Structure 1
Amino acid sequence: MTLHPEHRAEDLCPAGTQLYEQALRKGRIHIEDLAPAPCLVDCGLLHPTVEDSNWLEPVAPIVALHELLRASEERIASEWRRKERLAGTFAPLMRISTGRPATADTSANRLLSSSQQINQAISRAMAEAQEALSVQPVTHKSQVHEAAQPVSLDRDQALLDRGGRIRTLYQHTQRHVPFVIARYEQLKGDVEARTLDEVTDRLIVIDRSVAFIPVSNTPAVALEVRHPALIAFFVTTFERLWRLATPMYPEAVQPPSLNGVTPRQRAIAALLVEGHTDAAIADRLGMNIRTARVHIAKLAAALGSESRAQLGYLIGQSGILDQEG
C-alpha cells in the first residue's frame, strides 16, 4: 500500500484537486472515495456531514481560502512580534558594547542614532544595489518621510536606471495619498507597490544583504542588520505579505467587496470583535480616529446596531468575518 505524501493546502496534489472539484459539483462524496486523497480532510477542505459521517461535504472554497490566509497571517504576525521583541531586547545591550573591538557577530548589526546616519547608511547600501524591498506603514512621522521624498526618489531612480527592481508594501489607506501617488508617477522602471489592511513596522531590505528596521518607538533610531539569518527572515516575511497584498501599481486592483462589505469594513469589524478601542483601530489601520469612527458608524448602521455591545454581537451573527478578505 502506497502512503499518500504529506503536503499543505497550497501544494494540493492532482488527486486532491480532482476529488475536491467532484465534491463541489456533486455536493458530497462517500468516505470510500476519499482513499486517493485523504489530504482533503487534513487540509480542512472536506468534513463529515451532520446526518451521516460516511458522507463528506466540501467546505466552500471562499471559506477555506479565508481560513488558510488568516492562519498564515497569524503566523507571520507572531514571527514579526518575536522580531520586535528581540530587537527591543538587544538594542540596549549593543549600546553597552559600543567601543569594544567588533567580533564577526557584533559587526553584523549597527545602531544608527540619527536621521542623517540612517539616510547616509541607506544611500551607501543602495549605491550599487539591484533590488530594494520595503514596508512603509502609516506613522506619526509621515510628514518627515514626505519631506525626504526627493532624496528617496533620486536613490530609487538610480537603482531602476541600473535595471534594478523595487517592491513596496503600504496600507490600504495610502492608496490615494497624493505624495504616494506622485512618487509612482515620477519613478520609471521595474517598480511595484501593493497594499494590505495592516503591515509590519517600517522595513527596508537592500540586495537581500542589508536591512534597516526601527528600534522600538525611539525617534530617528534604526538598526542596520547584516546577519544572514535575520535578512533571510525579513525577506521571507516580506514575500509572504506580498503574496497576500492587493496590487496598487503599476496596475491598480481595488480590494474586492463581498455582499456590500468592503475589506476595510471587515478589518474594522475583526478589530472591534477583539475588543480594540477606536484609537487602537485607527492606529492599526493607518487612519485618523475620526475616519475610523465614520467607518464604525457606517458598519453599525448597515447591521442595525444601536450600541457597541450589540454591534459586536451582530458582527458575529452576520458572518462577514467568514468571508474572504
Structure 2
Amino acid sequence: MGIKRGEPEHPHGYIDLCDASTELYARALRAGRLSRSEAQAAPCLIDLMLLLPDPDDSRWLRPVPPAAALARLEHPIEREIQERRNQTLALANAFEPFLSISEERTTVSQAITELKGVSNIDAIVGRATAECTKELLTVQPGGTRAPELLDKAVDRVRPLVNRGVHVRSLYQHTARHNYGLLAYQERVNTVLMELRTLEELIDRLIIIDRKVAFVPAHRDLPVKLNRHTALEIRHPGLVEYFVGVFHHLWEHATPLDEEVHYEQPEPDGITGVQRSIAKLLIEGHVDEVIADRLGMNVRTCRAHIAKLATALGSNGRAQLGYLIARSRILDRS
C-alpha cells in the first residue's frame, strides 16, 4: 500500500526538518519501525530517504540509521573538497611557468614558492610559526608520533599559546593509540590548544594567521617522502580556500578527550575502515600509500585488505577491485 501525496506539504531539506518529521523519525529509531499510516503525517521522511519500505512486511517502514544517512550526505561534499584541492594544485602547477615570463606579472608566482629539503622546510615553517600572532591551524596525517617529534611540537607551540595564539590541530584516529599525543596535550595544558581526530585526512597542512599556508608539493608520494618538498602559499585566495577545507574537516572531527564512536560492521562484516581502504584500492593506490593515508602501518593495512577479500569472496588482488565495485559497498561510505 503506497502513501498518497500530491504537492509536497513539507518542502524542506535535511537541515530544517519539520516538527512532525523530527518526532516521527525519532519514534521510528526508538521502535525500529513505523507503520505506513503513521508516516502519512510526514511524507518528507520518505522523500528524504530517512524511511524505507520494510522488505519483510509492506505495512511497515524501517528508519535509515542516522550514521548511515549522514555518511551518505557527507561523502559527495568531502569528495568535492578533495577534487577542488587537486584542481587548485593542478592549476597552480600549470600556470607557474607562464607567470614568471613577465616581470610585470609576478604576483601569483611570488605567492607560491616551492621549498626543497627537510631541514630547509622545517626552518622556514619554524620561522613562520614563531611569528604567528593569532591562529595556527594544522592537519597532521599519519599514526603514532615519535616522542622527539612531540617534544619538538611542545617547544614550538608553548611560546605561541603563552602570548594568546589559538592552536587547532587535526590528527587521525590511529594517533590516539599512542600515549604521546595525550601527553602532548597535557604538557601544553591550555584551552587555547585544541586537538581533534578523524579516520582519514587530507595531506599535511599548516596555516598561519590565515596569511601563509604550507602543503606538500607532490601529493602522490608517501607521507615520509612528501616532507622533502613543499609549497609555501601566500596568495590570499588560496590560503582562504585551505582555511575553508580545514574548518569542514574540523566540524566532522572528534575532540581528543572524547571517545570515538567507531562505526559498527555492516551485516556483511565490512567496517568503515575497510570501506575507506576499498575506496583507495579502487583508486589504484598501493598498500604503502593506503597505510600512509589512513595513518596505520602497512601490516595492519594488509590485514584489513585480507579481511575485506574474505568478506567479498576474492581469490586474489586482481579480482578484489572488481568485487568491490560489484558489491556497491562504497555506496555506503
Q: Which TM-score tier does this pair reach, normalised by the shorter chain?
A: 0.7 to 0.9
Task: Out of 306-315 and 70-79, give the one that drifted further.
Answer: 306-315
Q: TM-score, normalised by structure 1?
A: 0.73
Provide, for residues 134-188 of structure 1, a one-character-per-residue CA deviation record: whole Å limited to 9, x for no partner: 111239xx99x97665554323111111233222122333333465455334322
The corresponding residue for 2:77 is 72
The corresponding residue for 1:231 is 239
Q: TM-score, normalised by structure 2?
A: 0.71
Provide, for residues 59-111 of structure 1, a one-character-per-residue CA deviation record: whole Å limited to 9, x for no partner: 343331221122232222222222332343344555x359x467655554444
The corresponding residue for 2:264 is 258
- Do the aligned partners of residues 44 and 235 (structure 1) sit closer, same or farther apart at CA in structure 2, a change above 3 Å counting? farther
- For 2:55 and 2:212, locate their aligned partners in 1 and report how far apart those are by CA, in whole Å: 54
The corresponding residue for 2:214 is 212
The corresponding residue for 2:296 is 287
Matches within 5 A, 1:25-44: 27-29=34-36, 33=40, 38=44, 40-41=45-46, 43-44=48-49
Give the residue type in structure 2 aligned to 1:81: N
Matches within 5 A, 1:1-325: 6-7=12-13, 9-21=14-26, 27-29=34-36, 33=40, 38=44, 40-41=45-46, 43-46=48-51, 58-93=63-98, 96=100, 100=103, 105-114=108-117, 115-116=119-120, 119-138=123-142, 150-177=151-178, 180-189=181-190, 190-216=192-218, 220-247=228-255, 249=256, 251-259=257-265, 262-272=271-281, 277-300=286-309, 303=311, 305=313, 307-308=315-316
- For 2:155 and 2:147, locate their aligned partners in 1 and report how far apart those are by CA, in whole Å: 14
Give the residue type in structure 2 aligned to 1:130: K
- Do the aligned partners of residues 161 and 42 (structure 1) sit closer, same or farther apart at CA in structure 2, a change above 3 Å counting? farther
Are 1:91 and 1:111, in contact at CA under 8 Å, matched by a contact in 2?
Answer: no
RMSD (CA atoms): 4.4
Unaligned runs of 5+ in 2: 1-6, 220-225
Provide, for residues 32-57 of structure 1, a one-character-per-residue CA deviation record: whole Å limited to 9, x for no partner: 936x774x455332457789999976
Are 2:169 and 2:196, in contact at CA under 8 Å, matched by a contact in 1?
Answer: yes
- For 2:305 and 2:130, locate their aligned partners in 1 and report how far apart those are by CA, in whole Å: 42
- For 1:61 and 1:274, locate their aligned partners in 2 and report how far apart those are by CA, in whole Å: 28
Are 1:91 and 1:215, in contact at CA under 8 Å, matched by a contact in 2?
Answer: no
Give the residue type in structure 2 aligned to 1:198: E
- For 1:178 and 1:51, locate their aligned partners in 2 and report how far apart those are by CA, in whole Å: 48
How far did residue 295 of structure 1 move?
2.6
Give the residue type in structure 1 aligned to 2:250: W
Count the aligned residue pairs.
313
- Do the aligned partners of residues 16 and 225 (structure 1) sit closer, same or farther apart at CA in structure 2, a change above 3 Å counting? farther
The corresponding residue for 2:223 is none
How far did residue 199 of structure 1 move?
1.3
- For 2:312 and 2:109, locate their aligned partners in 1 and report how far apart those are by CA, in whole Å: 58
Are 2:141 and 2:293, in contact at CA under 8 Å, matched by a contact in 1?
Answer: no
Tell me, what secondary structure is at the counterpart of 2:133? Answer: coil
Are 2:128 and 2:208, in contact at CA under 8 Å, matched by a contact in 1?
Answer: no
- For 2:52 and 2:24, locate their aligned partners in 1 and report how far apart those are by CA, in whole Å: 13
Are 2:114 and 2:232, in contact at CA under 8 Å, matched by a contact in 1?
Answer: yes
How far did residue 314 of structure 1 move?
7.7
- Do the aligned partners of residues 105 and 298 (structure 1) sit closer, same or farther apart at CA in structure 2, a change above 3 Å counting? closer
Give the residue type in structure 2 aligned to 1:245: A
Provide, for residues 204-254 of structure 1, a one-character-per-residue CA deviation record: whole Å limited to 9, x for no partner: 11222321222226754433323332222111111111222233x2x0423
- For 2:94 and 2:176, locate their aligned partners in 1 and report how far apart those are by CA, in whole Å: 34
